Amino acid sequence: MLSKREFLKAVVGLTTLVGTHSSLAKEAAQFPMKRTAIVYYSHSGNTRTVASRISALTAAPVFEIVPQTPYPNAYRPTTNQVREEMQKGYLPPIHAPSIDLNNFDVLIIGTPTWWHHIARPVASWLSQTDLSGKVIMPFNTHGGGGLMQTRDDFVQMCPKSTVTQSLTVYGNGDSDLDEQILRWLKEANP
């Protein structure tokens, strides 16, 4: 049996939770982002998690970039392989997402940080895709390095696009990931 004090505490907690969620839902409803799609690559799942939260909040469809030859699961062999690919400027063949770019003006593009930069499969897709005139809203997930060169890579590889500020997420995000996404959408949304 709860004491009166415990009961009151529980009621206050619940009200705060419901309040937070309904105001989040209200905010999210401002972003049924028209003609916006999400394109991402994820090696170990973090970027996929963030992409699906953005989709849940914006109703934007999600498209995945998949390397034709998967990278190893283990961290060390992947970092070694990627370092070599970067040194050689190698862009791995990918299964490009089946997105009709005519239907979208804004592309939210997500990448893990790989050696300070965007992941190679994302670089492959950008190098073979004409994003002229599109708005790119980049996001990266990382292991502690923050933004690093990831936004600069988009600017450099897509000179005819408008690149907004980035959303930068550590790992697959904290408990305030939704708030972080909504703040970013508000600030960066063209």
Ligand X SMILES: Cc1cc2nc3c(=O)[nH]c(=O)nc-3n(C[C@H](O)[C@H](O)[C@H](O)COP(=O)(O)O)c2cc1C
CA distances for 142 relative to 45, 55, 178, angstroms: 12, 20, 17
Nearer to ligand X, 13 or 45 (CB): 45
Q: Is 180 in the site for ligand X (CB under 6 A)?
A: no
Find the distance separating the first CA and the last CA of the chain, reported in whole Å.
53
User: Of the ranges 19-27, 73-81, 92-100, 176-184, which one interacts with ligand X (CB under 6 A)?
Assistant: 73-81
CB 118 within 8 A of CB 91: no
String marking each residue 110-149 x if it binds ligand X according to CB under 6 A: --xxxxx------------------------xxxxx--x-
Residues in Cβ contact with 171 at an 8 Å cutoff, skipping those fewer than 6 apart = 46, 141, 142, 143
Report how far residue 176's alpha carbon sits from residue 169's, in angstroms, rounded to the nearest whole number. Answer: 11
Least separation in angstroms between residue 33's CB and ligand X is 22
String marking each residue 25-64 x if it binds ligand X according to CB under 6 A: -----------------xxxxxxx----------------
For ligand X, the binding residue among 55, 78, 162, 189 (CB under 6 A) is 78
